[in-house]
């Protein structure tokens, strides 16, 4: 064998070894999830761009997936948070209704098991699921209870044997940010408990929060670091970090993330309309890092296919009688779409307006369809038993709306008879502009 060939074979083996070392392998069972599930990456960039990995379930809700990962990152799977590093391979059982019942076995399992007990984001942190409120503590006692909870959680974190430095740094931050969020949230919890009048609630809550100002400041001392963008706990307190530390002390990437996050939030709800596109130019000019300029442009690129005149993305639906149907099956008719869920209050508020328009304009030229994104059919069918509808009812898992960039519901869309988008982010039906779009479409 000649020398060049030997070198080639050795290099190929080295490359394959690197690829294998970067491969994440997960398999197991998911409980109390819908029929289609995604693993969501939680790096700052992935949060903004909604990067997900689809998990294909068999008839027993089991799955197996592998993917490349170049550096450690957080992921969310239902209500569980996972921390994965290149080369991790685990067998997992994740219960969406009871995250603490989830189990992790294999390489990387120690940190994932630790994360089961982290407070659920935006749920008052330690106010719920801990003993900090036990015995109806006084103001001073609450601060001591929170400090005690911090020490307990830091001890558990420090005891981990397989956690890397980045994980320990971010999780230490999470503990402190959750502590700050507890003290910042307590005023509103107390106001609700004491049935303080709505118009007086904020003032009352602020007065309570002010009692803990020194404790809060102490917990947020390191809150300028961009690495903490990897935990949702930080996003609950980042505005307070800026207030306490000063914008000039914050990492530039933190400030850029917040600017892009605000604009992406608007984009997700309104689509690439003139107002949002104009705001994009302003934000891009104000960003100080090339990284976030690139992320911003990537985010907007995903919406180009949803501009009026483009063909609507493919979408498969299930009818009330269990039949599969696609949007393409409606070709020849204008389609007016309501995307909703039984758990969505605003959806239910807009439904009567949508149904009134369905009664008014339903014909052989236009089809009004309502698409539920409920994770199971049972609540959907039960709700429809008690609510008469003119629009035709369908259900489909939320992940199937990926190409439509569906982030929130309700969402209303109008598609012309040729399958082209008229408006993928139409106004709500209670807005008279929605009816005008229908009239124009069916002419």
Q: In a 10 Å sphere around its CB, with 0-12 CB exposed, 13-18 middle and 19+ buried, how is residue 119 labelled?
A: buried
Q: With contact defined as beta carbons under 8 Å apart, do 428 and 410 qualify?
A: yes
CB 182 within 8 A of CB 132: yes
**Residues in CB range of 7: below 8 A, 6 or more apart:** none
Residue 344 among the catalytic residues? yes
The C-alpha angle with vertex 113 and arms to 132 and 99, in degrees rounded to 5, equals: 65
Q: Can you list the alpha helix ranges (DSSP code H) found in 303-431?
A: 345-361, 377-385
11 included as an active-site residue = no
Report how far residue 166's alpha carbon sits from residue 318's, in angstroms, rounded to the nearest whole number. 44
Q: Which residues of 158-192 are buried (b: 16+ CB within 10 A; e: fewer)?
A: eeeeebeeebebbbbbbbbbbbbbbbbbbbbbebe
- Nearest-angstrom CA–CA distance, 93 and 104: 7
Q: Which of 11, 112, 241, 347 is catalytic?
A: 347
In contact, 289 and 253? CB cutoff 8 Å: yes
Alpha helices in 119-251 (DSSP H): 139-158, 165-193, 198-209, 213-219, 232-245
* β-strand partners of 80: 77
Compute the residue count for the chain: 443
Rg (CA), the chain: 25
The strand pair at 366-372 and 334-340 is best described as: parallel
Helix (H, G, I), strand (E, B) or coil at 6: helix
Scan for tokens 């009812």, then name that residue.
393
* Active-site residue list: 344, 347
């Amino acid at each position: 064998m000649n020398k060049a060939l030997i070198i080639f074979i050795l290099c190929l083996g080295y490359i394959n070894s690197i690829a294998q070392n970067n491969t994440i392998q997960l398999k197991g069972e998911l409980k109390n999830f819908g029929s289609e599930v995604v693993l969501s990456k939680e790096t700052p960039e992935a949060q903004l761009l909604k990067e997900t990995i689809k998990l294909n379930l068999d008839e027993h809700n089991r799955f197996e997936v592998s993917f490349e990962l170049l550096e450690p990152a957080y992921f969310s799977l239902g209500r569980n948070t996972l921390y994965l590093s290149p080369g991790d391979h685990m067998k997992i059982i994740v219960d969406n209704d009871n995250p603490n019942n989830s189990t992790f076995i294999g390489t990387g399992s120690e940190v994932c098991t630790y994360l089961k007990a982290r407070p659920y984001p935006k749920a008052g942190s330690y106010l719920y699921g801990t003993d900090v409120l036990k015995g109806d503590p006084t103001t001073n006692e609450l601060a001591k209870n929170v400090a005690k909870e911090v020490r307990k959680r830091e001890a558990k974190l420090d005891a981990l044997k397989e956690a890397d430095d980045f994980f320990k740094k971010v999780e230490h931050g999470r503990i402190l940010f959750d502590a700050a969020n507890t003290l910042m949230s307590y005023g509103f919890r107390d106001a609700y408990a004491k049935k303080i009048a709505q118009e007086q609630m904020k003032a009352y809550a602020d007065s309570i929060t002010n009692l803990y100002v020194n404790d809060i400041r102490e917990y947020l001392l390191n809150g300028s670091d961009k690495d903490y963008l990897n935990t949702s706990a930080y996003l609950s307190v980042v505005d307070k970090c800026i207030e306490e530390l000063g914008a000039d002390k914050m990492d530039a990437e933190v400030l850029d993330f917040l600017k892009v996050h605000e604009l992406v939030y608007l984009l997700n709800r309104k689509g690439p309309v003139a107002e949002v596109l104009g705001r994009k130019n302003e934000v891009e000019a104000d960003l100080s890092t090339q990284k976030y300029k690139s992320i911003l442009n990537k985010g907007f690129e995903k919406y180009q296919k949803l501009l009026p005149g483009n063909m609507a993305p493919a979408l498969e639906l299930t009818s009330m009688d269990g039949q599969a149907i696609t949007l393409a099956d409606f070709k020849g008719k204008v389609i007016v779409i309501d995307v909703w869920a039984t758990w969505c209050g605003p959806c239910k508020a807009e439904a009567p307006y949508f149904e009134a328009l369905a009664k008014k304009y339903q014909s052989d030229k236009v089809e009004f369809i309502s698409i539920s994104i409920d994770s199971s059919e049972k609540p959907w069918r039960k709700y429809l038993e008690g609510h008469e509808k003119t629009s035709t009812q369908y259900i489909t898992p939320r992940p199937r709306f990926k190409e439509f960039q569906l982030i929130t519901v309700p969402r209303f869309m109008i598609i012309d008879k040729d399958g082209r988008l008229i408006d993928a982010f139409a106004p709500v039906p209670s807005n008279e502009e929605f009816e005008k779009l229908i009239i124009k479409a069916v002419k």
